[in-house]
């Protein structure tokens, strides 16, 4: 596997570990409480992140299952990645696509969400680890808003997306007056 991707996945896993460690101190009631009528609970934000990673992995798996002729990533793919990362760092909001933003569970338990996310992350790591290095500079991943990118750009997107929504989680905890109980 590409060493840079391996490092990015390790950082993504560490961010998840730290988030789960921090959230384990809050009551499930607060983690299931909406900050506003149309807002997402902490667990709904987490489900959104899990779905995003899961559906992205499934897209890549399906795409590679029929041995497509993949173009090498060029300047345009890097420009798409830059634009996407810039947007994610901005304060602007865009409604999440339906598969990752609608029908999020109304109630979840901490360990349920943690287990789903850890299993999904293990599947992502395992799949990417077994891919040949020559695939990592190809346009394989297709982001719904930004378009075709490399697998590395996909992992970078996951990291930036995680950071953006971690801020949302912190704001949600503040809005519902969550206090650590452990």
CA–CA gap between residue 152 and residue 8 (Å, rounded): 8
Quick: pLDDT tens for 116-162. Answer: 999 999 999 999 999 999 999 999 999 998 999 999 999 999 999 99
**For the CA atoms of 139, 141, 145, 146, what is the dihedral angle to 10 degrees?**
-30
- pLDDT at residue 130, rounded to an integer: 93
- pLDDT at residue 51, rounded to an integer: 97
- pLDDT at residue 126, rounded to an integer: 95
Residue 143 has phi, psi (to 5 degrees) of -75, 140
Which DSSP letter does residue 96 get?
Answer: P
Structural domains in the chain plus CATH codes? 3-175 (1.20.120.450)
Proportion of the chain above pLDDT 70, given as a percent: 99
Q: Contact at 8 Å (CB) between 23 and 42?
A: yes
Q: Contact at 8 Å (CB) between 119 and 48?
A: no
Q: Identify each DSSP E strand in 19-172 by its residue range.
A: 141-143, 147-149
- pLDDT at residue 156, rounded to an integer: 93
Proportion of the chain above pLDDT 90, given as a percent: 74
- pLDDT at residue 56, rounded to an integer: 97
CA–CA gap between residue 176 and residue 29 (Å, rounded): 10
* Pair type for strands 147-149 and 141-143: antiparallel
Q: Contact at 8 Å (CB) between 104 and 40?
A: yes
Quick: pLDDT tens for 77-126. Answer: 889 888 888 888 888 888 888 889 999 999 999 999 999 999 999 999 99
Q: Contact at 8 Å (CB) between 143 and 82?
A: no
pLDDT at 2 over 80: no
Supply the mean pLDDT for the chain.
93
* Residue showing tokens 């947007």: 87
Quick: pLDDT tens for 22-58. Answer: 999 999 999 999 999 999 999 999 999 999 999 999 9
pLDDT at 74 over 90: no
């Amino acid at each position: 596997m590409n060493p840079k991707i391996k490092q990015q996945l390790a950082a993504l896993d560490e961010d998840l570990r730290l988030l789960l460690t921090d959230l384990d101190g809050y009551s499930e009631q607060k983690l299931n409480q909406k900050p506003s009528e149309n807002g997402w609970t902490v667990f709904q934000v987490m489900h959104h992140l899990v779905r995003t990673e899961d559906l992205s992995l499934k897209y890549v798996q399906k795409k590679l299952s029929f041995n497509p002729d993949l173009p090498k990533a060029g300047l345009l793919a890097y420009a798409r990645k830059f634009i996407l990362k810039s947007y994610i760092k901005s304060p602007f909001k865009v409604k999440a696509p339906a598969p990752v933003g609608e029908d999020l569970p109304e109630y979840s338990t901490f360990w349920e969400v943690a287990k789903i996310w850890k299993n999904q992350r293990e599947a992502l790591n395992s799949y990417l680890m077994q891919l040949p290095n020559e695939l990592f500079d190809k346009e394989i991943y297709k982001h719904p808003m930004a378009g075709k990118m490399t697998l590395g750009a996909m992992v970078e997107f996951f990291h930036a997306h995680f950071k953006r929504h971690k801020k949302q989680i912190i704001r949600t905890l503040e809005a519902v007056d969550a206090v650590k109980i452990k």
